[in-house]
């Protein structure tokens, strides 16, 4: 199973795993998740480049730039917000995000199964 199917670079799986298996603070686990995901992203970019698929990026450069700027701003703002939030609060927020994500996944899967059953 590749990381890209697990959310943003697999953060929905990697961060809780780091916290639960290694007992690391949630803030450090978030940073470690990024360090773990970075090589995967770099290899993906290299593979895209080898296949000549980066043309898609060039064709949508304004969208890619907007997403990159939003990502950098989000990371900056998020890092400033994290300074004032305790680890316990972050764990609750992460738990809520994971629950919402799980509910959406199961609802989507149910909708797909229902539509496949109705079309037969």
Distance CA 69, CA 63 (A): 10
- Mean pLDDT lowest among 10-14, 16-20, 60-64: 10-14
pLDDT of 5 reads 44
Please, what sign has the CA dihedral across residues 12, 1, 36, 54?
negative
Residues 24-44 as b or e (16 or more Cβ within 10 Å = b): eebeebbebbeebbeeeeeee
Structure tokens at 102: 């799980």
Q: Which of 10-14, 63-67, 102-106 has the lowest mean pLDDT?
A: 10-14
Tell me, what's the pLDDT at 10? Answer: 60
Among the residues of 52-86, which ranges form H helices? 55-59, 61-82
pLDDT of residue 119: 67
Alpha-carbon span 102 to 16, nearest angstrom:
14
- Distance between CA atoms of 109 and 104, rounded to whole angstroms? 8
Domain ranges of the chain: 3-53+85-118, 55-84
Local confidence band at 85 (pLDDT 50, 70, 90 cut-offs) = confident
Of residues 68 and 4, which shows the higher confidence score? Answer: 68
- pLDDT of 2: 41
């Amino acid at each position: 199973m590749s990381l890209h199917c697990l959310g943003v670079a697999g953060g929905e799986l990697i961060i809780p795993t780091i916290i639960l298996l290694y007992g690391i603070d949630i803030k450090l686990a978030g940073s470690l998740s990024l360090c773990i995901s970075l090589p995967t992203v770099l290899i993906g970019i290299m593979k895209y480049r080898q296949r000549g698929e980066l043309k898609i990026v060039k064709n949508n450069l304004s969208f890619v730039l907007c997403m990159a700027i939003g990502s950098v701003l989000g990371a900056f703002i998020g890092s400033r917000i994290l300074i004032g939030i305790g680890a316990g609060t972050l764990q609750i927020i992460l738990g809520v995000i994971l629950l919402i994500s799980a509910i959406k996944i199961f609802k989507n899967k149910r909708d797909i199964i229902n539509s496949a059953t109705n079309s037969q």
